[in-house]
Structure 1
Amino acid sequence: MRRDHGPVVPVMLPGDVPAWLVVGYRELHQVTADPLLFPRDSGLWNQWDTLPEDWPLRPMIGQRMPSVYYTVGAEHQRHLRMVNPALEGVEHVELRGWCEELADGLIDGFCGRGEAELVAEYAKPLPVLALARIFGFPDAEGPLLTRTMSDLADGGPEALDAYREFVGLMYKLVADKQAVPGDDVASRMLAHPEPFTDDEYALDLTALTAAGHLPTADWIGNSVRLMLTDDRFSASLTGGRHSVAEAMNEVLWEDTPTQILAGRWAARDTWLAGRHIGAGDMLLLGLAGANLDPKVHLDGYGGADGRGDGFRNGNSAHFSFSHGEFQCPFAAREIAEIIARSGIEVLLDRLPDVELSVAADSLTRRPSAFLRGMTELPVHFSPAPPVGGRP
């Protein structure tokens, strides 16, 4: 795409719906840094009248929903004033302990077999169980949340039904916490002094949970895949933990879980990288494309092959959490990193000789243009006894 079209690419979504995919680093920075010209206001979209009601990507786009993800301007800031303190109230040491406990419980379920499929048995359930705990869900609802969010993100025929079921769980959580509040994100949101409706609470919780689950699951899966297939990390599987953070950072640059975000909408006619963008046109944020823009790596990191040292020396100038006014809140990033890193470290501590059970080039990805995660990650290891973690 970059070779044939440059940094701003004309693309078609399912049903021949036109959009622009921004894959240039500088161009994506320009779009995300200008919320007036490129607001996250899907109500501006000039294609709404052409879409069928069952268009499968409707849940990924949204239409003027009163949540932190879709509001703009002063209304967006109002939601952030409620959401950010609720997330900042998550105690990191306690969260790490929960994650280690939950990880041990999941590993106990397969450690005696000597083999496992890490996506379904570990990478997917761990983040949702941890998020369910901090948001205020009962642990027993974790598997249902896992299934609905996976169906939703893949954008297939089950997406609309999954979205309705998912939102229904959020309304139930709001009602439960209004009746019996606790020390959790949902209760802190409800205790915020500014008035919000039940719809706003439920949709904010929907956005936070959806944004936190599969990207974190894929961060775990993609990082473990890298460590099991790249010789640079093989020594760390039986050695120290220092390479876990390096692998996680490299994944954010080169194999980011969130590949594309939808999106931004042009507030008026404008130009971007020589492309005429019409008022109401949708711009898809090509986070993965921008992260891999060879111009930036050649100019910014000095690598002759376009893979400078910035990938592996802790540089975090990637777009994996987006950028600008609508980027992922810092507290949410910290929560995701604690969940992912705890999960990887516990896995390697418990199963130090874990190896892939199939050839690396046979591994496949889920059929989603938006999120990049493994379909399966089959592994084998020496059978080990359970430690009695919570299942």
Structure 2
Amino acid sequence: MRRLYGPEADADPLALYERLRREHGAVAPVLLPGDRPAWLVLGHRENLEVARTPSLFSRDSRLWRDMQQGKVPPDHPLAPLTMWQPLCVFADGEEHARLRKAVTESLSRFEARGIRRYVTRFAHQLIDEFEPEGKADLVEQFADQLPLRVITQLFGMPEHYGPRLTDAAKDMIRGSETAVASNDYITDALQDLVDRKRAEPGHDVASKLLEHPAKLSNDEVREHLRVVLVSANEPTVNLIANTLRLVLTDQRFRATLAGGHMTLPDALEQVLWDEPPMTTNIGRWATGDAQLAGKTIKSGDLLLLGLAAGNADPQIRPDKSTPMHGNRSHLAFSGGPHECPGQDLGRAIVDTGIDTLLTRLPDLRLAVPEEKLSWETALMSRRLVSLPVEFAPRRRDGGTGPGAGAPSVELPPLQTPEPASVPLPPEAPSAEHPSWWTSFKQWLRGR
């Protein structure tokens, strides 16, 4: 069996998925860290079948035969991702519905316009820090930083938590040797938050979870905050970086944008097809013996959803160069009852963050040859290491030269919408601050 970790997987995971597809078809036997056996689901239809059939393929990791046999101890690299905990991602049926409803309804208490305003605020703060230099690494200085600044604000956490939580979340999702310690740090920080919000509630996700009619325990609140933090951060970071890379390097992609044939939301959907922010998803566990794409899955077997592989399935995409405009049937956010609950939050952060960046800096250009860009591969994601760019530095008064930048804006606290209200669309651009779309097209055309 081929390993989903190590040199072959790290070099080019997408090529590895295609080799597995040729060798085994839509479902392939693989080895995970520690050489734990698993099944990688490669077919688009088969991914949806597994995701939508919890009666056969459960999220309850206590079914995992290897864990029952003591082969996945607490210090195993997979433990933070698979050790059962009392939260919705490990539940099915009524218990899953109860817990997930608490999460989705707590997140929905924050209107779209308010969230986008906070994304704009933090994006401006980040741009202020590097704009006078005329150069930046858009992974380290922008994509890596923006999502958790917004998420910690929604949670009601102090802003200084952001950088350390960013590092810990990246390390945990990577499944490294220090993943357990990083998981412990996140757990401790969130427990402190829950304790404070239990004593002094406010207008934030933590308080809304605590007061929800589902009556979550402190442990349940803490663990669901961790799920939102990790699941909303890493994919959003990758989606920002991948979209910016395409804008800066792909001539066909750039021309489609500049010609008005694709909007930014369309562009995001294309990236979600071609470079989903999470390549795989752990995991599902067989509730009994089952057949899947001609393979016999034994009771207690672990399955990984192959999100990137499913998106590239030749059965649904025989020609991968064909644009997928308006098609949201990709697997980037998984599917079924466990489909990512934070996808709308992620889209708002990416859309608004990129819009703000390219409005401020419409003359962005890649500072190194494209072939110099590199990726860091983990079990569940493929991450752009850096994205060095150059642009004309601007003064704080709006001119070019050192000291550039539009001033950061201070915003009032997020407002809770009235119960009957619906999410509002992003505000229309003002005449003073045109959409990045207009600025970017003018720059591409040399105006």
**C-alpha displacement at 1:333, in angstroms?**
1.5
Rounded to whole Å, the distance in 1 between the matches of 2:186 and 2:256 is 38
User: What corresponds to 1:29 in structure 2?
Assistant: 48
Call closer, same or farther: CA 1:388–1:232 in 2, change over 3 Å: same
Alignment match of 2:110 (pick from 55, 67, 90): 90
Q: How does 1:342-357 map to 2 (within 5 A)?
A: 342-357=352-367
Matched, 1:103 2:113: no
- The higher relative CO (CA closer than 8 Å, separation ≥ 6) is in 1
Rounded to whole Å, the distance in 1 between the matches of 2:28 and 2:372 is 30
Gaps of 5+ in 2: 1-19, 395-403, 411-447
Alignment match of 1:55 (pick from 69, 76, 94): 76
User: What corresponds to 1:301 in structure 2?
Assistant: none
What TM-score do the two structures reach when normalised by structure 1? 0.93
Contact 1:291-1:319 within 8 A present in 2 as well: yes
**C-alpha displacement at 1:98, in angstroms?**
0.7
Alignment match of 2:190 (pick from 145, 166, 170): 170
Kindly provide the amino acid, as one letter, of the partner of residue 48 in structure 2.
H
Matched, 1:308 2:308: no
User: What corresponds to 1:268 in structure 2?
Assistant: 288
Q: How does 1:7-26 map to 2 (within 5 A)?
A: 7-26=26-45
Matched, 1:375 2:375: no
Contact 2:246-2:254 within 8 A present in 1 as well: no
Matched, 1:187 2:199: no
Rounded to whole Å, the distance in 2 between the matches of 1:241 and 1:146 is 35
Contact 1:238-1:352 within 8 A present in 2 as well: no
**C-alpha displacement at 1:234, in angstroms?**
3.0
What TM-score do the two structures reach when normalised by structure 2? 0.82
Query: How far does the alpha carbon of each residue in 1:73-123 deviate from its partner, in whole angstroms, 9 at most, with x for none?
Result: 221111022111101111110111111110000000000111111111100
Rounded to whole Å, the distance in 2 between the matches of 1:182 and 1:367 is 39
Structure with greater Cα Rg: 2
Answer with 147-156 or 279-288: which moved more: 147-156
Kindly provide the amino acid, as one letter, of the partner of residue 221 in structure 1.
A
Query: How far does the alpha carbon of each residue in 1:162-182 deviate from its partner, in whole angstroms, 9 at most, with x for none?
Result: 000001111111111112111
Rounded to whole Å, the distance in 1 between the matches of 2:370 and 2:305 is 29
Rounded to whole Å, the distance in 1 between the matches of 2:117 and 2:261 is 17
Query: Pairwise CA RMSD of aligned residues?
Result: 1.7
User: What corresponds to 2:248 in structure 1?
Assistant: 228
Gaps of 5+ in 1: 299-304
Which SS does the other structure have where 1:271 is aligned?
Answer: strand
User: What corresponds to 1:44 in structure 2?
Assistant: 63
Rounded to whole Å, the distance in 2 between the matches of 1:94 and 1:241 is 29
**C-alpha displacement at 1:240, in angstroms?**
7.2
Kindly provide the amino acid, as one letter, of the partner of residue 366 in structure 1.
E
Which SS does the other structure have where 2:38 is aligned?
Answer: strand
User: What corresponds to 2:268 in structure 1?
Assistant: 248
Alignment length (residue pairs): 380
Alignment match of 1:365 (pick from 361, 367, 375): 375
Matched, 1:116 2:136: yes
Matched, 1:161 2:185: no
Call closer, same or farther: CA 1:112–1:165 in 2, change over 3 Å: same
Of all paired residues, the percent bearing the same amino acid is: 39
Which SS does the other structure have where 2:215 is aligned?
Answer: coil
Rounded to whole Å, the distance in 1 between the matches of 2:239 and 2:389 is 17
Rounded to whole Å, the distance in 1 between the matches of 2:382 and 2:268 is 14
User: What corresponds to 1:5 in structure 2?
Assistant: 24
Rounded to whole Å, the distance in 2 between the matches of 1:376 and 1:24 is 31
Answer with 96-105 or 245-254: which moved more: 245-254
Call closer, same or farther: CA 1:240–1:349 in 2, change over 3 Å: farther
Contact 2:238-2:383 within 8 A present in 1 as well: yes
Which SS does the other structure have where 1:256 is aligned?
Answer: coil
Contact 1:29-1:323 within 8 A present in 2 as well: yes
Alignment match of 1:283 (pick from 295, 303, 306): 303
Rounded to whole Å, the distance in 2 between the matches of 1:120 and 1:296 is 35
**C-alpha displacement at 1:280, in angstroms?**
0.3
Call closer, same or farther: CA 1:241–1:146 in 2, change over 3 Å: farther
Which SS does the other structure have where 2:271 is aligned?
Answer: helix
Rounded to whole Å, the distance in 1 between the matches of 2:163 and 2:258 is 32
User: What corresponds to 2:423 in structure 1?
Assistant: none
Contact 1:237-1:352 within 8 A present in 2 as well: no
Contact 1:38-1:267 within 8 A present in 2 as well: yes
Kindly provide the amino acid, as one letter, of the partner of residue 170 in structure 1.
L
